[in-house]
């Protein structure tokens, strides 16, 4: 690697706007594998607290931060909380056979079950049940209809399904359960994750806006909050939940269990539109390249599924078991990267993004940001540069889905890391600017250093003056990019970024 002070940082630039989230697990926990995944295209690493110990997650987090310090590139880390897990009890003699029309009882007893009954140790479910309610067991493989119920039992009839075994999951579609999304385990995991310095916290089992508010109080600004939309009940409050969250995830696995499968694609589009209108990052997740858990290439249907999410305008697509426990984690990231790049180079993609711009709010900040996208297109600018403290200026730019990269310059490591998730954002940690001239010079120089622009190209710059006041975007400037003077060592050159990121 060159020792030139302007190129000490590893030259990593993503040639796509859509980001990739990858889950770490047994197949991807070594520093060497984490590096390979990052170099192949991962922007955000997900730590799934449904599996693994705090020690495991701590080791992975330290490996990511070491890689970040070495490369000088901000890397986002997401802690995904497990949430309440509703499960049946155990059976006395192993799996039982069921038949449609058969009567089957659920109760609070811890006595092992049989073909006529089994325990379900969740009084909150019994409290919410009513006759004719539906219960889905084992991801919907078994469906029961409630015929009678009380505070400690439910008499049901089997609607479909032929086999049931120990500890299978329970879903109750159409019923708001009196449950907090944060169990005692989640609270311990959250405290650990925040102490370790994660950038995003993904909240499971969101049913109501109050669930998001509860998590926000506990997080207290130490990380950004991402609400997982996996319960149909949450969709009834979609815009309010999006408003209260810093980002959202389309968790299609659970949605597909509790809703008819044919409803999920249109719901995916609705959630993405809502998040984009609010300027909040949105992730499409679950079973995107599932066959790659054991195969080196995806099915054509899976490739189309990823492409559809990109065409919908999502900020990010996510890999779960494909990278956590699959046999081909690097290949899964590589194909996802290639699909996203191919879609974004399709003329239809740009036409769809340009046709879906949300109406800007009647504020100077929104007017400037909308104009920046238009100006960048008109003059064929190489990039849009944003100066931000809180991230709001950059998120406004990402909401516009511009056709060029967004160079985000910020003095806050936490802001740089969180914005890695947002569409098109290339975040750079740098010192605060002192005046307007310094702002223009720094944006031009860093756009060149990071490979976003070449000498002679133009740059559209947005910022808020006075500097350092969140949400005050009020300036748009066009600048010519000049090559930096190589002999000069600047105080904010990228050679300093590894230490700043490591210490943040």
Residues with a catalytic annotation lie at: 46, 87, 228, 286
Cα–Cα distance measured from residue 275 to residue 272, given in angstroms and rounded to the nearest whole number: 5
Q: Do the Cβ atoms of 135 and 122 come closer than 8 Å?
A: no
**Residue 173: exposed, middle, or buried by beta-carbon count in 10 A (0-12, 13-18, 19+)?**
middle
Cα Dmax for the chain:
82
173, 167, 135: which is closest to 153 by C-alpha? 135
Cα–Cα distance measured from residue 362 to residue 379, given in angstroms and rounded to the nearest whole number: 25
Helix-helix angle 54-71:184-196, to 10 degrees:
30
CA distance between the termini of the chain: 25
- Hunting for tokens 């500890």 — which residue is that? 167
Q: Which bin fits 374, alpha (ψ -120 to 50), beta or left (φ > 0)? A: alpha
The single-letter DSSP state of residue 54 is: H
184, 159, 35, 140: which is closest to 98 by C-alpha? 159
Can you list the pairs that 370-374 forms with residues at least 24 positions away whose Cβ atoms lie under 8 Å?
Answer: 370/400, 371/476, 372/397, 372/400, 372/402, 372/460, 372/462, 372/476, 373/397, 373/400, 373/401, 373/402
The single-letter DSSP state of residue 432 is: P
| Sheet strand arrangement including 425-429 | 425-429, 406-410, 383-387, 458-464, 473-480
Q: Do the Cβ atoms of 186 and 54 come closer than 8 Å?
A: no
């Amino acid at each position: 690697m060159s020792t030139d002070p302007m190129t000490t940082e590893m030259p990593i630039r993503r040639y796509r706007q859509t980001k990739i989230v990858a889950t770490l697990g047994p197949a991807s926990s070594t520093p060497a594998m984490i590096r390979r995944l990052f170099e192949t295209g991962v922007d955000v690493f997900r730590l799934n607290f449904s599996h693994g110990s705090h020690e495991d997650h701590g080791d992975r987090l330290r490996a990511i931060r070491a890689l970040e310090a070495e490369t000088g590139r901000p890397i986002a880390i997401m802690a995904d909380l497990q949430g309440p897990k509703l499960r049946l009890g155990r059976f006395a003699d192993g799996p039982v056979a069921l038949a449609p029309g058969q009567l089957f009882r659920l109760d609070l007893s811890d006595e092992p079950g049989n073909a006529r009954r089994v325990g379900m140790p969740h009084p909150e479910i019994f409290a919410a049940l009513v006759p004719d309610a539906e219960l889905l067991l084992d991801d919907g493989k078994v469906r029961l209809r409630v015929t009678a119920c009380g505070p400690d039992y439910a008499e049901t009839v089997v609607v479909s399904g032929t086999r049931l075994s120990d500890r299978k999951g329970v879903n109750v579609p159409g019923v708001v359960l009196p449950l907090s999304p944060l169990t005692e385990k989640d609270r311990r995991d959250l405290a650990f994750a925040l102490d370790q310095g994660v950038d995003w916290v993904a909240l499971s089992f969101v049913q109501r806006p109050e669930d998001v508010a509860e998590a926000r109080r506990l997080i207290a600004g130490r990380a950004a909050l991402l609400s997982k939309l996996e319960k149909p009940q949450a969709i009834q409050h979609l815009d309010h939940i999006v408003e209260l969250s810093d980002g959202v995830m389309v968790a299609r696995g659970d949605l597909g269990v509790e809703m008819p499968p044919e409803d999920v694609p249109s719901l995916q589009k609705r959630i993405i539109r809502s998040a984009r209108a609010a300027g909040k990052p949105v992730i499409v997740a679950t079973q995107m390249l599932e066959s790659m858990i054991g195969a080196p290439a995806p099915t054509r249907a899976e490739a189309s599924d990823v492409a559809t999410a990109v065409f919908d305008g999502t900020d990010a697509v996510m890999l779960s078991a494909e990278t956590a426990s699959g046999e081909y984690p690097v290949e899964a990231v590589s194909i996802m990267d290639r699909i996203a790049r191919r879609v974004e180079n399709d003329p239809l993609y740009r036409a769809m993004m340009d046709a879906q711009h949300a109406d800007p709010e009647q504020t100077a900040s929104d007017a400037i940001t909308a104009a920046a996208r238009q100006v960048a297109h008109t003059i064929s600018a190489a990039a849009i540069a944003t100066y931000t403290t809180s991230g709001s200026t950059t998120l406004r730019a990402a909401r516009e889905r511009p056709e060029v990269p967004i160079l985000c310059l910020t003095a806050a490591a936490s802001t740089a890391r969180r914005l890695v998730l947002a569409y098109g954002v290339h975040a750079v940690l740098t010192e605060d600017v002192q005046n307007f001239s310094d702002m223009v010079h720094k944006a031009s120089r860093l756009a060149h250093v990071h490979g976003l622009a070449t000498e002679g190209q133009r740059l559209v710059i947005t910022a808020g003056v006075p500097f350092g006041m969140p949400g005050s975007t009020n300036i748009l400037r066009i600048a010519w990019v000049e090559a930096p003077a190589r002999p000069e060592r600047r105080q904010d050159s990228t050679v300093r970024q590894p230490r700043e990121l490591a210490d943040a």
